[in-house]
Amino acid sequence: MRFENQTVFVTGGGSGIGRETALRCAREGATVVVADVDREGGEETVAAIEDLAGDADAVELDVTDADAVRDAVDAAADTHGLDVMVNNAGIAQSNDPLEEVSLEERDRIVDVNANGVWNGCRAAIPHLKAQGSGAIVNVASLAGVVGQPWSAAYAMTKGGVAKMTRSIAWELGRHGVRANAVCPGFTDTPMVQGGLEERDDPEAAREALERRYALKRLGDPEEIAAAICFLASDDASFVTGHELVVDGGFTCG
């Protein structure tokens, strides 16, 4: 029970990796605040936690709204305390080359994937610093580590998230607070399923993708949640400023 008597705040907790992270933290004893712009998704995650006799609150939150993020994190910290901040909310990019991505789409991706993580860190850090302990886990991507075509805006945000995490690890270390990033490869969540469904032959597209992994499959969201929970827990007490690639061997060859 690595998160007994701890509170974990998860953005984008209403689906995919965020949902599995929330569930895993709850199973390991945490009170979980499930924040998502999709109210229904967040409530479903909370219901699943309550089915496990766990403790969770749903908060409808758009991570691009810095004031709302601060208010939600302050409220969670006042009610439950705050030990772990998981900045996971993110959106995908249309499958287009850079020059065909509209500026509106680029700005939206930057706002959610980069500024949203910034807003979560900005809100959580004062609480973690004040108590002199805690951990931040930011969800970046393999697209922030290696080049992937038709992902330029997404990659720009994910590379930025990974590097800003290293930067804040320096700022926070002296306060007893750790900050790490997880860089998942393709993981079987609604985000990826949606992208595959847009292809002419979704099944063939999935198989082509799977062949690129040493393990010959996509990740399960539970496997990314396991890595997030490792970095969030005392098992990683001497790990900070790390970009943990969880990619089924995509980058090993």
Q: What is the DSSP letter of 242?
A: -
160 is an interface residue for ligand NAI by CB under 6 A: no
User: Is 17 or 58 the residue whose CB approaches ligand NAI more closely?
Assistant: 17
Q: According to CB under 6 A, which residues from 210 to 239 bind ligand NAI?
A: 221
Q: Looking at 33, 37, 164, 169, which residue binds ligand NAI (CB under 6 A)?
A: 37
Per-residue binding letters, 116-135, with ligand NAI (x by CB under 6 A): x-------------------
Per-residue binding letters, 163-192, with ligand NAI (x by CB under 6 A): ---------------------x-xx-xxxx
| Cα distance between residue 46 and residue 3, in whole Å | 17
Q: Which helix (H) or strand (E) covers residue 136, if one does?
A: strand 134-139
| Cα distance between residue 125 and residue 95, in whole Å | 35
Residue 103 CB contacts under 8 Å (≥ 6 apart), including other chains: none
11 is an interface residue for ligand NAI by CB under 6 A: yes
| Three-state secondary-structure class, residue 88 | coil
61 is an interface residue for ligand NAI by CB under 6 A: yes
Q: Looking at 2, 28, 43, 64, which residue binds ligand NAI (CB under 6 A)?
A: 64
Backbone Cα Rg of the chain: 17
